[in-house]
Amino acid sequence: MRTIGYERPETLDAAIAAYSGSGSGSRYIAGGTTLYDLMKLGVETPTHLIDITAIANLDRIETEGDVTRFGTMALMSDVAETPAIRTEYPVLSESLLKAASQQLRNMATVGGNLLQRTRCPYFRAGNGVYPCNKRQPGSGCAALGGLDRSQAVLGASGSCNAVSPGDWPVALLALDARVEIIGIDGQRTLPLDGLYRLPAERPEADHNLNPGDIIIGITVPKTAAGRASTYHKIRDRESFAFALASAAVAMEIEGAVVRDVRIALGGVATLPWRARQAESVIVGRTLTRELAVEAGRAAFQDARPGRHNRFKIDLGVQVVADALMIAAGRNVR
Amino acid sequence: MTDSPECAAGGIAVTRRVVLGAGASAVAGPALLKGHHVHAQPVPTPSGIENPLLLSFTVNGSSLELDIDARASLLDVLRERLGLTGTKKGCDHGQCGACTVHIDGRTRLSCLTLAAKMNGRQLTTIEGLSDGDTLHPMQTAFVDHDALQCGYCTPGQIMSAVACVRQGYASSPESIRDFMSGNICRCGAYVGIVAAVAAANSSEG
């Protein structure tokens, strides 16, 4: 039986010092909904837990300034139900309300959500039942050529096709969010699309954080595209399920012409996926259903299906088209 | 003991909770039912915990201290250490909702809550909802609307249902279904559950 250490520092400096002092078996824990789950599966085997939930002022939601800022420890449910977020950024609110269950949204933090790990069944099987390059580097990938209905059609490599599971990071990506990080070497910020890694090399590393780093906040620049936005998510059942295909769309229409549009995809790729080819189909033109479908096709033009997930391409095209039409319907000028 | 006796043997009233609690913790369990106020109730520590952590929190209105294993889930502490077996272990991975409790007034899953994180916090379990022998209105609504079959998911359903009404999500069947989607009922008693939540909502409103 493995024993485990636990401590609850009250400052960021103390948390980072605790990490430095306790070695590579340490993990920060906040809501714990991913980490503790994976500990029970034997996928995560930390020797020391550093609980960062006692650190003050990390849960603020700031909607007043030039950027909207979410403290890392803000709960998913609190961000989703902030009135200014519901009206100014429906894409953000919807991405949270369509994720998990109300109990989990009361536990999980918006910072921790960025680091949620894949739901690939071969990864979660744990205990060496199936090879998995994310769980045990170099062991192989049972999902490639296996039961791959839920796996990625975009961004996969010859060593991993695990889907990035989140909804919130997809919505943030569409709004060009940035992530504030503090670590052993001080503080820095990263664009959200610089946080995640394709599985081409080192598929065990989901992200570009260094050991000891803590995400302390997320910033979203204010944009006129925020209001005409939506998070459209299709799943096996209508609530409490991961996306088969989802799209975050935010747009700004002037006259009849689309001036600005951002499209990001979830449930279909190995990381939150910005669909810039689809965006370029639409910018400067008048949105029609036909054009929306054309944009959807552009979003999936490089998709490579496996044995059982080809349906995600047709589904994804329609999800992008529907999301564009929903967002356009919210454009009030 | 707030249960009404289910049978009497040789003049000694035996309740379901006494039977269930035997071997776990007949000492602490009953005291944590609502209506019994015990402060800093000592709970015996089982042998074999390495590096125990001292946990101090409030359970159904009673302050409590006990030594726990740092890895323990709140759910296991409730069931194995405190004898509060109303909170159920279904999947143990946050997918079924059977272990739903209220922490600081909000629904959370006790299976994915590290017990160590409970220090200084307020917990309400299904045992804390009723007022002595008087059921909470939501419990009564579940009885009245036949909102269960086997009953295993019911404590978690009721804890979520109370929050559903309190937070204003019980205004339509669709909204109830969406809010309650984190509580799975494998008997399929959903029709009765939605009816119970709607009825409790209108009687409170």
pLDDT digits (tens, 9 = 90+) for A263-279: 999 999 999 999 999 99
Global pTM? Answer: 0.92
B60/A contact by beta carbon, under 8 A? no
Q: Which residues of A touch B94 (CB under 8 A)?
A: 33, 37, 103-104
Name the least confident of A209-218, A240-249, B35-44, B112-121.
Answer: B35-44
- Residues A12-42: pLDDT tens digits? 999 999 999 998 899 999 999 999 999 999 9
pLDDT at B3 over 50: no
CATH for the stretch A229-329 = 3.30.390.50
Q: Which residue has the higher pLDDT, B108 or A129?
A: B108
Question: Which pLDDT score, from 0 to 100, does residue A128 have?
Answer: 75
DSSP label at residue A59: S
**How far is C-alpha B111 from the chain's CA centre?**
12
Question: Which pLDDT score, from 0 to 100, does residue B7 have?
Answer: 39
- From B142's Cα to the closest Cα of chain A, the distance in A is 20
Alpha-carbon gap, residue A106 to A135, rounded angstroms: 28
Q: In what order do the strands lie in the sheet with A214-221?
A: A61-62, A67-71, A214-221, A178-183, A186-191
Give the one of B114, B182, B183 whose C-beta lies nearest to A32's C-beta.
B114
> What element of type H or E holds A36?
helix A35-40
Q: Chain-wide mean pLDDT for chain A? A: 96
Alpha-carbon gap, residue A123 to A125, rounded angstroms: 6
Q: Which of B55, B107, B119 to mutate to test the interface with A (most CBs of A within 10 A)?
A: B107
- From B29's Cα to the closest Cα of chain A, the distance in A is 25
Judge: B160–A102 Cβ closer than 8 Å, yes or no: yes
Q: Which of A101, A119, A233 to mutate to test the interface with B (most CBs of B within 10 A)?
A: A101
Percentage, residues of chain A above pLDDT 90: 94
Greatest C-alpha distance within chain B: 52
Q: What is the mean pLDDT of residues B51-60?
A: 94
Q: Which residues of B touch A3 (CB under 8 A)?
A: 50-51, 70-71
Question: Which pLDDT score, from 0 to 100, does residue B21 have?
Answer: 46
Judge: A5–B160 Cβ closer than 8 Å, yes or no: no
Q: Which residues of B touch A104 (CB under 8 A)?
A: 94, 109, 112, 182
- From A78's Cα to the closest Cα of chain B, the distance in A is 11
Judge: B94–A106 Cβ closer than 8 Å, yes or no: no
Contacts across the A-B interface (CB distance below 8 Å): 81
- Residues A244-255: pLDDT tens digits? 999 999 999 999
Judge: A49–B114 Cβ closer than 8 Å, yes or no: yes
Give the one of A6, A40, A237 whose C-beta lies nearest to B116's C-beta.
A6
**Do A143 and A105 meet the contact criterion of CB atoms below 8 Å apart?**
no
- Cα dihedral A147, A150, A151, A152 in deg (nearest 10): 150
Closest by Cα among A226, A283, A288, A292 to A259: A283
Q: Where in chain A is the domain with CATH 3.30.43.10?
A: 5-54
Question: Which pLDDT score, from 0 to 100, does residue B171 have?
Answer: 96
Closest by Cα among A301, A309, A242 to A275: A301
Strands A48-51 and A26-29: parallel
Q: Where in chain A is the domain with CATH 3.30.390.50?
A: 229-329
Alpha-carbon gap, residue A5 to B203, rounded angstroms: 48
Alpha-carbon gap, residue B173 to B171, rounded angstroms: 7
Question: Which pLDDT score, from 0 to 100, does residue A278 have?
Answer: 98
Please name the amino acid found at residue A333. R
Judge: A106–B106 Cβ closer than 8 Å, yes or no: yes
- Residues A192-219: pLDDT tens digits? 999 999 999 999 999 999 999 999 999 9
Q: How confident is the model at residue A165 (pLDDT cuts 50, 70, 90)?
A: very high
Q: Which CATH architecture has domain A5-54?
A: 2-Layer Sandwich (3.30)
B67 burial class (0-12, 13-18, 19+ CB within 10 angstroms)? middle
Q: How confident is the model at residue B9 (pLDDT cuts 50, 70, 90)?
A: very low
Q: How confident is the model at residue B2 (pLDDT cuts 50, 70, 90)?
A: very low
Structural domains in chain B plus CATH codes: 7-128 (3.10.20.30), 137-204 (1.10.150.120)
Classify the complex by whether its ipTM is higher than 0.85, answering yes or no. Answer: yes
